[in-house]
């Protein structure tokens, strides 16, 4: 039996990451601030798109992903059975 903690996955966080988070927290802008806008602009440029939108969670992103092409009631969405429940929840929400 292992006596120490066995982590599922260690985060890859370095001092630059910690400094960036600290700078945002000290700025007084946690949501909708200049760092978020800069991230959206950088992501749009990286992906070759005109714009990008940052969201608060993977579930929120999945919701937008389903709504953008107009998926709705009566549409078939196939997902693996071995997935997070939030994915199924967003598919159900899109079908309402």
Across 19-44, average pLDDT: 92
Residue 7 has pLDDT above 90, yes or no: no
Q: CA-to-CA distance for 69 and 42, rounded, in angstroms? A: 24
Residue 81 has pLDDT above 90, yes or no: no
DSSP state of 83: S
For the beta carbon of residue 91, count every other beta carbon within 10 angstroms. Answer: 19
- pTM confidence score: 0.67
pLDDT digits (tens, 9 = 90+) for 48-75: 999 999 998 888 999 999 999 999 999 9
For the beta carbon of residue 79, count every other beta carbon within 10 angstroms. Answer: 12
């Amino acid at each position: 039996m292992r006596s120490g903690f066995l982590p599922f996955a260690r985060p890859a966080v370095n001092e630059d990451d910690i400094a960036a988070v600290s700078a945002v927290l000290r700025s007084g802008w946690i949501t909708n601030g200049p760092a978020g806008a800069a991230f959206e602009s950088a992501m749009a440029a990286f992906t070759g798109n005109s714009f990008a939108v940052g969201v608060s969670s993977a579930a929120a992103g999945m919701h937008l992903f389903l709504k953008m092409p107009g998926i709705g009631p009566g549409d078939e969405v196939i997902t693996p059975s071995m997935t997070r429940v939030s994915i199924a929840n967003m598919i159900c929400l899109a079908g309402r």
